[in-house]
A = this chain, B = another copy of it.
Amino acid sequence: KDSYVVTLLPGDGIGPEITAATKVVLEALCEKCGFTLELREALIGGAAIDAANDPFPQESLDQCLNSDSVLLACIGGYKWDNNPRELRPESGLLKMRKEMGLFANLRPAKVLPQLLDASTLKREVVEGVDVMVVRELTGDVYFGTPKGIDIIDGQRVGYNNMIYSESEIDRIARVAGDVASKRGSKLCSVDKANVLDVSQLWRDVVTDVINKDFPSVELSHMYVDNAAMQLIRWPKQFDTIVCGNIFGDILSDEASMLVGSLGMLPSASIGESGPGVFEPCHGSAPDIAGQDKANPLAMILSAAMMLQYDLDRAEEAKMLEDAVEAVLDQKLRTPDIKQDNDGCKLVGCREMGEAVASVI
């Protein structure tokens, strides 16, 4: 296959700029490598609320499902922050994950030698860190029922059910086992099994799946509070981490700080079959939107993950990653990764995209 349909979801804030920069890069790649991407835009987040009063309209969902893959920029902004929950941009994201069956979220946190000093952690602590967090994405307290806010005995009570079934744990454990076996073959499963029944089941099922079907993967378990410490104390102890949705939300963001800048971090959300969604970990940064100050590299690296996981083009994925390292070696920096006196050149979003494209 050498022609693919990709849905582009530019979203809000800096989304359109980083999408434009990523397009330039993908076009260069297609030309160089002899394949075509048909890029079709659709609405999500605040842009979709404004246009269709729905953060992820059926039309967008259909278009995503009819694609080979989906590339998402970022969503959200002050403008929609006080909307009722179902009319907030985040709800579009959650709906997309659930409706597209994207149960596995892969969040690499790899420290690049060029950006070692961007981290608030000491050089010797973060040098060489390469952690992959595999987060379950369609279960847990995010989607559990019963949930709500009721009046009980004259006072309000809020509740959400933290719940996992065996099959949900089984399938994410398989993704994690597979990911780990292609990396350092060390998998750390994070839970709170000393307190929670749902974590006890999590631990039992993960142990069964890995021991039985991934015998070459070395499995360990860690409580979530300890994991939050160990990620700071000595992150190099980790290779692949697997956890539920809410613990993964917290730990993957914490892990991203090891790298220093969210502006460099991609993610992949994938399901059993069908298209995945690839997106940078950063938000929509409304304060700098439209000023050509955004860093497009996380979205470009997300496109690399798309090539690897959805389009089965590992070679081209590698080419993109190398091109990103090359522009860093050329000492080009967007404001978020520029340090005082680092001897680097400050560039805008567009120039950064063009630099990556011309390396390719």
Contacts and interface: CB of A to CB of B under 8 A. Distances in A.
Interface of A: 85, 88, 90, 94, 120-122, 125, 141-142, 144, 147-149, 152, 155-167, 192, 194-202, 205, 224-226, 228-229, 232-234, 246-247, 249-254, 256-257, 262
A219 B250 CA distance: 22
Contacts of A165: 152, 155-157
Given A159-B163, A160-B162, A147 B257 contact: no
Nearest to A225: B253
A73 to B, nearest CB: 19
Given A120-B122, A158-B197, A229-B257, 19 more contacts: A120-B121, A120-B233, A121-B121, A157-B164, A158-B198, A158-B201, A159-B197, A160-B197, A192-B246, A192-B249, A224-B249, A225-B252, A225-B253, A228-B228, A228-B253, A228-B254, A229-B254, A232-B257, A247-B250
Contact of A198 (B125, B159, B197, B205): B159
Contacts of A161: 159-162
Most buried by B among A195, A202, A228, A233: A195
Contacts of A142: 195-196
Given A121-B121, A161-B161, A229-B254, A201 B156 contact: yes
Contact of A156 (B152, B166, B195, B228): B166
A45 B160 CA distance: 31
Nearest to A146: B161
A250 B195 CA distance: 13
17 contacts: A85-B200, A90-B194, A90-B195, A120-B234, A141-B196, A144-B159, A149-B201, A152-B165, A159-B161, A159-B197, A160-B161, A160-B196, A160-B197, A225-B249, A228-B228, A232-B232, A233-B257
A116 B167 CA distance: 47
A147 B197 contact: yes
A151 to B, nearest CB: 9
A158 B163 contact: yes
A162 B149 contact: no
Contacts of A164: 157-159
Contacts of A254: 228-229, 232, 254
Contacts of A197: 147-149, 158-160
